[in-house]
Amino acid sequence: MPGGVNSPVRAFRGVGGTPRFIASASGATMSDVDGRTYIDYVGSWGPMILGHAAPEVIDALHEALGRGTSYGAPTELECEMAEEIIDAVPSVEMVRMVNSGTEATMSALRLARGATGRNKIVKFEGCYHGHGDSLLVKAGSGVATLGLPDSPGVTASVAANTITAPFNDAPSLEAVFEEHGADIAAVIVEPVVGNMGCVPPREGFLQALRDITRRHGALLILDEVMTGFRLARGGAQELYNVSPDLTTLGKIIGGGLPVGAYGGRRDLMEQIAPAGPVYQAGTLSGNPLAMTAGLAVLRRLRDRSIYERLEEAGRRLTEAVSEAAREAGVETFTNRVGSMFTTFFTDSEVYDWHTAAKSDRERYGKFFHAMLEEGVYLAPSQFEAAFIGTAHTDDLLDRTAEAARKAFRTL
């Protein structure tokens, strides 16, 4: 395997050392092949909101396995999943299932181009929307961690149709539209960025995107692959009261199995084949196992008290970690929205890629390994979010805070 892994950040290149190979996981912990157990704050990059091997998910999967693993034909499960998403996310009137977040964003952008007859898209520096060609321009996540330039293999003609702007800077987007407005099909954004670390939108930023795109006849796409059902049942768009034209989803709606989805206004979604001319297909889309696992999770998340518990857990942990850094004389800045957070090794506010990039990556790497030695598994990159789930008990949170105190002292 290239680099020994099947996804770049797993290689620990951003923190140094040898990656841990995982043998099993349960609740809020993972165990590696050498028998060491860690309190896990990666959670498969977000979907384990109920914890690893959640009993209701495992039980549902055991039952579903006996009925077969893939049909390549419609199932009731797909209809139930569509109904669950539409009920939770007000802006979504129709939805199409796919197999990954990358597929979801690629498909949503194709639909935006097809529906508007325009070619250009706008993304924001440091936002990552999967590894589709047009989206690997000033991306975050593994690209930033590894210090790679815009990816070789992305043609100049494709890159020319992608315009970038600074996150949290509405005036810069206004300027982009003044120059290219008639050619812009869509603006795509992570409403709360998770791929340059957790970076929330400033007050009014998302509504400004909504106003600008509507004024110029472009579509607004919220990439909620990470934030959907994570920050609230209705995602970040519920939390910040903004209504996009299209939404991309993933992570939690598969309950830990490969999945993605995109949805939005009925008049747009009816332009997708076979209802309309914009083509997109997939043999494994709506796979019965992924639908089964996802439905088990989404039905549990109808209980909105879960989000209250996650909010309190996030506050408790990040306040304790920040206090531990101050006690050790280590400069950090922590961003958190609900159960997503990142502790940046910088002394200034982080609100876009430029400010995130000031973080001391080497120091983060040392902290990461110190936490690993204390039995806490964080993201092996300064530019990723951490995730808390319902399985993170108060005891585990307190143990994590104590581990952080010890880790900061080693710096």
Catalytic residues: 128, 223, 251
Work out the angle at residue 250's Cα, subtended by the Cα atoms of residues 401 and 129, and round it to the nearest 5 degrees.
90
Query: Are 254 and 45 spatial neighbours (Cβ–Cβ below 8 Å)?
Result: no
From the list 144, 147, 199, 236, the residue with the least C-alpha distance to 349 is 199
| Helix, strand, coil distribution of the chain in percent, nearest 5 | 40, 15, 40
Which residue do the tokens 């876009």 mark?
352
Whole-Å CA distances, 21 to 31, 36, 375, 400: 9, 10, 14, 21
Length of the chain: 411
Query: Are 127 and 197 spatial neighbours (Cβ–Cβ below 8 Å)?
Result: no
Helix axes 205-216, 170-180, angle to 10 degrees: 10
What CA–CA distance (Å, rounded) separates 201 from 124? 12
- Residue type, position 300, single letter: R
Burial class (CB in 10 A: 0-12, 13-18, 19+), 215: exposed
Report residue 373 CA to chain centroid gap. Answer: 27
Which residue do the tokens 């299209």 mark?
246
Q: Is 275 strand, coil or helix?
A: coil
From the list 89, 43, 54, 103, the residue with the least C-alpha distance to 287 is 103
What CA–CA distance (Å, rounded) separates 283 from 98? 9
Q: How many CB atoms lie within 10 A of CB 171?
A: 10
What CA–CA distance (Å, rounded) separates 231 from 198? 12
What CA–CA distance (Å, rounded) separates 342 from 328? 18
| Residue 275, both tokens | 């209802």
Query: Are 5 and 19 spatial neighbours (Cβ–Cβ below 8 Å)?
Result: yes
- What Rg do the C-alpha atoms of the chain give, in angstroms? 21
